[in-house]
C-alpha cells in the first residue's frame, strides 16, 4: 500500500518515549479484544494532555451494530472520567486468524475519526504486529472535512 505523503513512517525502535509507551499500551490492550467475527484484534491507548492514558480494545457483537472499536472504548473511558483534551492515540492490530492483515498498520475507521476529532485533534500512531514501523500523522489529516453541526 502506498502511504499518503502526510504520514510519517517511523521505525518502531525510533519512536519517541511517549509514543513508545502508548504503542506498548495499545499492544497490551489488544490482548483483551473480543473478536469472534473478524479475528482482527485492535488495541488503543489514548493519552491526555494531563499525561493520563486510557486503553481500549475492540469488542465485537454478533449483531454488528453494537460492536465497539478500540478507539471509541478508550475515548469513552476518558470522557466518562472527565478528560477531553487528548494529545496522542496509538493503535496496534494483530490478526488472530493469521490471514496476513497485520503486515501494515491500520488507521482509525471513519466513525472513530469523526468521534475523536469532535473531542480534540491529536497525533495518531498506527502500528501492527508484523510491521517494523509506525505510521504517524495528525488525526485531522485523516479526516480533513469532518461533519459539524
* Residue-wise pLDDT tens digits, 16-36: 999 999 999 999 999 999 999
Task: Quick: pLDDT tens for 49-103.
Answer: 999 999 999 999 998 788 999 999 999 999 999 999 999 999 999 999 888 888 8
Choosing from 71, 97, 98, 123, which is the catalytic residue?
A: 71
Q: Is 60 a catalytic residue?
A: no
Name the pTM for this structure.
Answer: 0.93
CA distance 92 to 87: 17
Domains of the chain, CATH where assigned: 8-142 (3.40.140.10)
Q: What is the b/e burial string over 7-43, where b = at least 16 CB atoms within 10 angstroms of the residue's CB?
A: beebeeeebeebbbbbbbbbbebbeebebeebebbbb
Amino acid at each position: 500500500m502506498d502511504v499518503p505523503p502526510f504520514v510519517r513512517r517511523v521505525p518502531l525502535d525510533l519512536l519517541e518515549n511517549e509514543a513508545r509507551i502508548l504503542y506498548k499500551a495499545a499492544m497490551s490492550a489488544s490482548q483483551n479484544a473480543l473478536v469472534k467475527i473478524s479475528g482482527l484484534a485492535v488495541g488503543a491507548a489514548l493519552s491526555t494532555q494531563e499525561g493520563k492514558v486510557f486503553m481500549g480494545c475492540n469488542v465485537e457483537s454478533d449483531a454488528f451494530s453494537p460492536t465497539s472499536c478500540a478507539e471509541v472504548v478508550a475515548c469513552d473511558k476518558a470522557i466518562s472520567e472527565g478528560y477531553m483534551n487528548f494529545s496522542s492515540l496509538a493503535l496496534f492490530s494483530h490478526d488472530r486468524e493469521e490471514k496476513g492483515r497485520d503486515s501494515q498498520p491500520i488507521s482509525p475507521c471513519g466513525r472513530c475519526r469523526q468521534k475523536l476529532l469532535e473531542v480534540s485533534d491529536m497525533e495518531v500512531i498506527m502500528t501492527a504486529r508484523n510491521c517494523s514501523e509506525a505510521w504517524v500523522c495528525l488525526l485531522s489529516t485523516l479526516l480533513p472535512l469532518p461533519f459539524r453541526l
